[in-house]
Amino acid sequence: MSLKCWFEEVGRVNLIGLFPSNKRGNGPALDPLYIESLEQVLEEIQIFLEIDGWPDRVVILAPDQYHKYGFSGAGAYSVVLPCKAFDVPFLLERHHMTFINYLRICFRWGGFPGLETDNRLSHDKLEYLTKDLLSF
C-alpha cells in the first residue's frame, strides 16, 4: 500500500547532485533521496520474468549511496513483492526499516539522509532544506 500511494502521488524523485561546497568524493555521504519511476520498476520486473521467472521477487527502487555517484556499492535499495503489510520493508538501506520510515528520515534531512551522520550544513541551511516539508 505504501508503494502504491507513493507512485500515485509522487511517482519518481531524483535529488542526486552535490552542494556547491562538496567535492565529488563526498557525494555518497549525502545519500540523496532517489526513487525510480513506476515505469522503470515495471520494466525491470518484466525483464526478470523473462530471464528467470523472477523467483526472489526483489524489486530495485533506488541505487545505493555509492552507485548514485558512480562508485561500486553494497547493493541497491529494494523491496520484495508482493507484500501484505501496509508498509514494505526497505532492503539494504542502512537504517533497516520500512519504506515510509525511510521517507521520514529523508524528509527530516531535507532529502539527504546521509546528513544524519555527516551533517556539514549550518542550522540555517538545513532549515532552508526542510522548510515546508510536512511530518507524516
pLDDT per residue, tens digit, the chain (136 aa), is 999 999 999 999 999 987 776 655 577 788 999 999 999 999 999 999 999 998 899 999 999 888 888 888 778 999 999 999 999 999 999 889 999 999 999 999 999 999 998 887 889 989 999 999 887 8
Q: What distance in Å separates the CA atoms of residue 118 and residue 28, rounded to the nearest whole number?
A: 11
Integer Cα distance of 127 and 11 in angstroms: 25
pTM for the model = 0.87
Q: What is the pLDDT of residue 51?
A: 92
Domains of the chain, by residue range, sit at 2-130
Q: Which of 87, 79, 83 shows the shortest CA–CA distance to 104? A: 87
Q: What is the DSSP letter of 14?
A: E
3-state secondary structure 44-80: HHHHHHHHHCCCCCEEEEECCCCHHHCCCCCCCEEEE
